Amino acid sequence: MKAQDIIKQKPYLIWYTKNYDGLSDEAVVEAVLNYGDFDDVQKIIQILGIKKVAEIFRKQAARPRCNYRPEIKNYFQLYFAKYAPLEVPPIRRASPGR
């Protein structure tokens, strides 16, 4: 199953095109997070993986012109902070002899 298949099953999530196969994963994620229900969100996470969905969301949410409604943006910032936290590289410490 592809991300675009969610839109084929629920075309009201993206009403501005009928070319569902031409939609990018980014467009599908944005539509599902903005207009889908919790089952739709879980389905897109199952298809793309939580890290990929979180990465797409964070990239879109960081833009100056963001299409996420404020309450949606806030919810998913908290959601992905808990379930797909950013990986911080470990701090390298100098060895004692240096």
SS (H, E, C) 31-85: HHHHHCCHHHHHHHHHHHCHHHHHHHHHHHHCCCCCCCCHHHHHHHHHHHHHHCC
Percent of the chain with pLDDT over 70: 97
For the record, the structure tokens of 82 come out as: 């808990």
Only one residue has tokens 């839109």, namely: 7
Q: What is the pLDDT of residue 88?
A: 74
- pTM to 2 decimal places: 0.85
Residues 1 and 47: beta-carbon distance below 8 Å: yes
Q: Which residues of the chain have pLDDT under 50?
A: none
CB 43 within 8 A of CB 29: no
